[in-house]
Amino acid sequence: MLKQNIQNDATKALKDGNQFLVGTLRMLLASIGFKEKEKKFKEKIEGDAQLTDEQVIETISSEIKKRKDAIVLYEKGNRPELADREKKEIEILIKYLPEQLSEDAIKKIVAEAIAKIGAKEMKEMGKVMAEINPKIKGKADGGTVSKIVKELLSK
């Protein structure tokens, strides 16, 4: 499981003395633990609730998005050293995601979905997104996908 790989990497980083990597992975594990507790209470599960690899990937994607948002704010606030730290954390987190789709691959998936649904206008964007989300989940940035969908629907 993906969570186990992250735990193993955190342990190895701790033994190697890589404090930055340990800190980043512990933060990720804490976020995963929070999501597990949330799942336990939502679904009223007895004992421990385990996230599926897909749910762990969603959590990692969420953490990456938080860092991208923080980078924008740090750069606006003229704090390049903090922005660089966030960028390094993103580099670590990306390693645990499935291979990311290229823009061309995303455009192809979006074009197929638009053709399948027969979408012609922007108000049908939600239908298109619902069609492609299962295919791209964890493999592409939501902002990029949204931009491509808007671009193709406006043609």
Domain definitions of the chain by residue range: 2-94, 103-153
pLDDT at 127 over 80: yes
CA distance 142 to 148: 10
**Class for the domain spanning 103-153:** mainly alpha
Assigned CATH class of 2-94: mainly alpha
| Euclidean distance between CA atoms 50 and 132, whole angstroms | 26
What average pLDDT does range 114-121 have in this prediction?
87
For residue 93, pLDDT beyond 90: yes
Query: Which of the listed ranges 75-84, 112-121, 130-139 does the model predict with the highest average pLDDT?
Result: 75-84
**CA dihedral defined by 56, 138, 144, 110, rounded to 10 degrees?**
-150
Rounded to whole angstroms, the Cα distance separating 90 from 73 reads 15
Reported as a pLDDT band with limits 50, 70 and 90, residue 74 is: very high
Residue 69 pLDDT? 95
DSSP tag of 154: T
pLDDT, tens only, 42-64: 888 787 888 899 899 999 999 99
Q: Is the pLDDT assigned to residue 89 strictly greater than 80?
A: yes
Dihedral, CA of residue 18, residue 21, residue 22 and residue 26, to nearest 10: 180
Statement: residue 121 has pLDDT above 80: yes
